Structure 1
Amino acid sequence: MQTPVRWMTAPPLWPSLVADHNRDALARPMLLRFASDTFMQDLQRLLAEAPETLATYEAVPESFQARPAGTAPDAWVSPPPPMLKLYQPAHGHFYLVAVSLVCERPGLPDRTVAPPQGERMGFVLRRVVNGQEHARLGQGTDAAWFPIESGSETTLLDGEELRPLVAMPVQQNGRTRRLLVGFLPTAEQETLDGAPALPATPPPDEEDPRMTAFNTRIISALETLAQGGSALPDDAAETASLFALLDLLDFFMLEIPTLHEAIVYGHPPDAHTAERALYDKLANADTNEDGVGDGWRIGGASWLDALQTVWEHKDELNTSGAITGTAYDLRNSTPPLETIINELPALVEAALPVQPITAHLALGTVTIAPPPHYIVRCVYERPGCQPLPFTPTDPAQADALAQHTRERTVSAPSVPFTIAAFFDPDAPMRPVRITMPDTSLQNLRKYQQNVSIVLSKKLRQQICQLSGVSMSDIEDGDLNDCDTGFNIGMICSMSIPIITICALVLLLIVVNLLNIVFWWLPFFKICIPVPTAED
């Protein structure tokens, strides 16, 4: 039996929260704020020297708006925002999630996560819209916020990004405990806020695009076989039947992978599920009072046997258009193929998983959410105690089945917060410092050959004016005497190749030689007789 575990806030805060009987704060992750690029080193030093002061670094609502003109500096206090607002690294602020994972035993010992045993931990960023949590699924521009059903907030959706947590030592009552911290991606504000929010289910009166593809690809082929009847040659009907079965399995692989694996490996899905109902029809497993299967058959074989055979020889079928020694004609199905065509779409639609994001995008149901706020939840995953229903032979199938037997411990939500935009009026400003390059020869030689230093016109005038003069000579500040007449700047480049210098020298030599050869030509008088009309 595995020991129960739970998430708690940072250990240095436990004594004060227990004294205040603040159970909610004890169970939720803590958000820390640092205003230095060396925030990780600062946190390490803090945990080693004064961990009891960690509470002073907890993120609180604060604003850094500029003081209005005419307001006394001592009297001005920037009004804080109504909700905790996190600023970006460009503003000089960095935020960390701080939490502890403990075993529910006396003393609350730290839980050690063992990745080799399939365990993992991290935190997820959730958006809250109208009181409902949304999980971010997808990558890049295809990412969107998918709503989580009420009561299922402590579950982790497939494809939800699990961000890392790292362990840092902290002293508490003479013991060394582990504080888990994770970096909040506030720099992704535009990406997070810009991702659309999607509805949980397809809108009414609109067909699932997956079923549209199924009807076009599978049902139309079966209808062609059923309508052709005896007029269709046997060899053509058998070839069309094989490809229809292969297309059906390919559709299952793309849209209902659990059913595809069950068919390929011959292991029925869980009982009382839509996948099991369709599987039983294909396997001819449904029985009547006489014990005779009333599922779907092709001659003497079940549809399941035919699908397994086709999948086993799919390479041969795709190459030659036939399977050696195997022939199936769906026109010989029992019950009649027309009956199967009427039953199959409903069974497939019921077995389809929750509509994926891409289907919603195709339906044009994307809605832009109101100004969002976010929360953080920490997640711990480990293999469950229950054994697998069978021993899988395929690694991909083993991973898929293992996901169904994993145990997840999800923390309570953190305090809600928003993320400031880059040009936010409440955001602080970093001090700006422009360092001019050292122009000594030994330092200029350190630059790569593709480095160019741009000098403005005013700076070029100042350099020219300062050359060979003292500060007393330019006390009047007149820099116009050095003006060369060109209203341009200057680019000092360290990238003049030796071949350019050689070419310039060679050009000067050639020009001088040509000048020696041809400079005396104007001293010669050359007269050329030209006939005129009088002659």
Structure 2
Amino acid sequence: MVVAPRVLRQTFPGDHPVQWRTASPLWAVLQPRTDNPVFAQPAMLRFTTDTFMEDFLTVATETPTRLWEWQVQKETWRKPAPIPSLRLAPGQTPSTPPTQMLDDPALQNEPLKLYQPAHQRYYLVAANLVCRIPGLPDKTLKTTQRETVSFVVRRLLTVNKVLQEHAFVNGFWQPVEPALLQSLKAGEQTFPMFPVTYTQRADGYARRMFSGLIPVSNREAFLNAGLQSKATGDSVVETEGDRRDRLLTLLQVDVVAPWRNINQSRIQEDRTLVESWSKLEAGRRNELLASVHLAQDKLQSVSWYVLLDLAYYLRDYLPAVWNRLEISPDTPVPTGTPGKALLDTLQSTTFKLETSENFNTFMVLQNKFSGVSDPTGRTSLAKALKDVYAARVHLENATAPYSYQSPAGWPASQFLLCGNGVNSLVNGGDLDLLVFVQRIRDALTALPPDANQRLPLVPTAPTLIKSQNEANYDNDLFLIRCVYERPNCPPSVHPTVVSEPTQRFQMASYFDPDAPARPIRIPMPIDTSPAGLRKFAKNTMFVMSDSLACQVEKARDLTFGDLVLSVLPWPFHKDFSASAGGCPSGTLSFGKICTFSIPIITICALILLIIIVSLLDLIFKWVPFLIFCLPLPGLKAKK
């Protein structure tokens, strides 16, 4: 008859103090138990395979006395900790437990690091919940009374030059008072633990320990979480200034940044024009004019789309300003009108396109980007916004790029944001001090959006600065405490039982230079001859719209020579065809589904990687550290 092992649990009458102790299979290693502080600390176990949970259960249930071999130790990929064998060979005896776990002497002064699952490292915390009576029997959980066990991760941050524990509450770190370290803060995040029952070989009793997976993969969330001096409610009241900051950030992302990039593109085009003019003979300057027109069309096209985003912005968040622009963009604004400074700026900022085709005059070519200074017939920024908004349907649905030779459907006003006088609105180092941003800020202050209006979720500058200051990557020490909760009992009678802390540790980043490297093997195609490559299935499909399919077809028409000529200086320079950027509007076209051969794509990716690495070696000097190859005799494409 098979007799089930007896479970050593609380069977004595009355209530007894409950406490956390390290995992019971390790008790035999800890001598003496009475004054050894590790006996009161939850244990941390390290596993090195993706089957870590099965491995842990196998060791805990079959050979629990060997669990000490999986205790966490300091290690690096150059000095890895020993990896114990899951099962002993026939006739092999278990290793003798040491009296004290010793780290590699070279790592004694280094902090303990827990590595990521991507490094093939998994860590468990393990402890026993026992009654403080002779024999330390396991405490039975009364699940019907909602009793639970879990663990918390706490961070050590410097406060007044002293390391202080902080609890993770609602996504923030809150300080824990020194007198309340062994208590649970309200709302503190807990992580689950699960029971594991095993049989003690010495007396035949079954014991139960609790374990949980340490969330090392949460490192970035932990380190980037902000600080809170005290608990706050879940609801945050956003002030008018906060909403204004959010809208200003949206303006900088959608309008100001692309506008400034257009200005940078104009500077590059000017530089290219100056170099080309000095090198190109007079008889070929008509070719230079065609190249200038292509660049001008590109600048005009992106200028219209930035203007359209600005029009949408004014329509949605400054409707009073937009309504005046849409009705009468160039009518003088009465004194005292809210947003007058912004309206005046939009009306006074003007541009006039260079229409001359005299390619033998350098100034004419340069004015194609900057505009002319003629005071008559100029278009205001306010008028350009109205015209762009009126043509929004065409802009949103256009499939062919803009060309000055076929302007049908495009906005009536040609307005380059990189033109002289226009670009000055966003020129400067500090984005908050730009003329245009200041005008928008003043208008938002005078005409704040409705408090009930939903605003986009964008990170504001104050929030980013605060988050960066609070992240503090220098303070990256953590510890773990196990928790036993009895929510149905009054805290004065049966308070929450929180364990002593584990040893302190750091959580390694994904690119930690000490991290073990998970072995990754990418097999390449063996036979790369046409005879071999034609045999692979084309099982990777790309679904393309009609617009993308047409652009891909145009790209397939380009040759390597076209690419080289497009970047060479004059007189060797040759632009791409004007129709290379898209498909003609109104033509019948279809989407496509194309299948590709993954082996060929993999080979191309490897070759491109080598080319890019070689080119960027001029900056990073990294080629000596990139690759190491070993010969493989017998691996041949043709046998």
Structure 2 length-normalised TM: 0.39
Structure 1 length-normalised TM: 0.46
Structure ID, larger Rg: 1
